[in-house]
Amino acid sequence: HVVGTAEDVRLIDRHGTDLTALVIARDPVRDVAVISLPTATQGLQLAPETPQLGDEVFALGAPLGIEFTLTEGRISPLARQTDSAVPMPMLQHDAAVNPGSSGGPLVDAEGRLLGMNSQIADGSRMFVGIAYAIATPDLDRIVQGLIDETLAPLPKLGLTARPVDRKVAAALGVPTTGLLVDATTRGGLAA
């Protein structure tokens, strides 16, 4: 969602280096874009292990237009699916992420890449204590698949669904298990 439909983007780092990069691939469903830099740069080292529940993490970004910001938090669930139509587990954490932080790195205490910050909890445009990052192994697979043009698109099921929580279960008189399908798209797979 950061690059949208742009063909090129402007990148400015905390040292003032200003580059224009080309958007060479995008997957709006998984919310990942690949950009090509005009000069070689050294990226972040990848974390050698998957983070664990409670690990300290840091989110880097430019939230609300405030240049180079670092916030600290902890890992919560390691595989939270945020959208029933997109089967991609996300790292949930509580490092503050606001508009402008998306696409920024989530790193460990040694500055090694754990993932890419992608979204905040639904229901608010501002950070409410829950943020999500695409984990490095998934991000690597998606980026490489976009570059190689081998990434299979996710099927569009054509449904709106949500977990059956206590409120929904009480209203419908059903157990608190399963998935409630709110609507289907006419002619779609789910119909």
Candidates 1, 13, 124, 140; catalytic one: 1
* Residue 1 annotated to the active site: yes
Is there a catalytic annotation at residue 76?
A: no
Does the annotation count 18 as an active-site position? no
Q: Per the residue annotation, which of 55, 93, 94, 102 is the catalytic one?
A: 102
In sequence order, what E strands does the chain have? 8-12, 18-27, 32-36, 56-61, 69-74, 80-83, 86-93, 105-107, 113-120, 131-135, 159-163, 179-184
Residues 6+ positions from 116 with CB-CB distance below 8 Å: 32, 103, 104, 105, 106, 133, 134, 139
Tokens of 88: 């991609």
CA-CA distance, 40 to 24, in Å (whole number)? 16
How far, CA to CA in Å, does 51 sit from each of 48, 54, 144?
A: 9, 8, 22
CA 61 to chain CA mean position, Å:
13
- In the block, tokens 């405030």 appear at 66
Catalytic residues: 1, 31, 102
